[in-house]
A and B are shown apart, each in its own frame.
Chain A
Amino acid sequence: MWNKDKSLLLSRIAVGIFMAIGVFWVVAAPTLTKIFLDFSRASMAGLTRQQAILCFLSTQYLSLIPAGILLWNLHRLLQRIGKSEVFVRENERALRRISWCCMVEAVICILSCLYYLPFLFVSVAAGFMALIVRVIKNVFTEAIALKDENDFTI
């Protein structure tokens, strides 16, 4: 029978998988970039292969920093939800950090459009995700205020 505990466990497993992918990416990024450039027929804004590798690696390693922070905050958020600490200030702060991480990813990707235009799609997706998380954060802020009000009504 599907229940909220199993759903939470699934979310935590998903976060764990993404963390593992992140660690794998740190190690495998140079090889994966070379493989991608061998097979890709996309235009690289007149860059040489070495320059293209450098640009791609810069984008990927820069992106991994906010991605790591985002996943860590998501992991902590799920841990607190598991302890039934849902509408607390720490979760609101975590959501704000997650939103900003998405925004930083969007900026990195938009800058990367200078040498590889398809990064624009990733940038728009990350920006949109930042917006959604921000709205959820605003909902949490209101919910925390309501909970405080309720907790202090005797």
Chain B
Amino acid sequence: MPIIVNLDVMMARRKISAGELADRVRITPANLSILKNNKARAVRFSTLEALCRELDCQPADLLEYREEE
């Protein structure tokens, strides 16, 4: 998929663990892992909103479009 989720980068910048973020965003660690590993097919606005709120960032910091080779 050409949409890349840079969640791990933002998490490293904010020094927050996956478990803690999952807890704050109120999603399961398994779902956070799916998101982090680019396995997700879609992201709900409510999830994106919670991620932006907890990581203090913009949606563009989390999502990136990369042309497929």
- A residues whose Cβ falls under 8 Å from a Cβ of B: 148-149, 152-154
Would you give the shortest CB distance from B47 to chain A, in whole angstroms?
A: 5
Would you give the shortest CB distance from A138 to chain B, in whole angstroms?
A: 21
- Considering only residues 14-29 of chain B, those with a C-beta below 8 Å from chain A are 27
Would you give the shortest CB distance from A150 to chain B, in whole angstroms?
A: 9
Q: How far is the CA of A152 from the CA of B27 in the complex (A)?
A: 13
Would you give the shortest CB distance from A143 to chain B, in whole angstroms?
A: 16
Would you give the shortest CB distance from B4 to chain A, in whole angstroms?
A: 15
B42 proximity list for chain A (CB < 8 A) = 149, 152-154
Nearest neighbor of B36 in chain A, beta-carbon distance? A154
B39 within 8 A of A: yes
Q: How far is the CA of A149 from the CA of B41 in the complex (A)?
A: 6
Q: Are B44 and A152 in contact (CB under 8 A)?
A: no
- Considering only residues 29-59 of chain B, those with a C-beta below 8 Å from chain A are 31-32, 34-35, 39-44, 47
Q: How far is the CA of A113 from the CA of B39 in the complex (A)?
A: 54
A148 proximity list for chain B (CB < 8 A) = 41
B27 proximity list for chain A (CB < 8 A) = 154
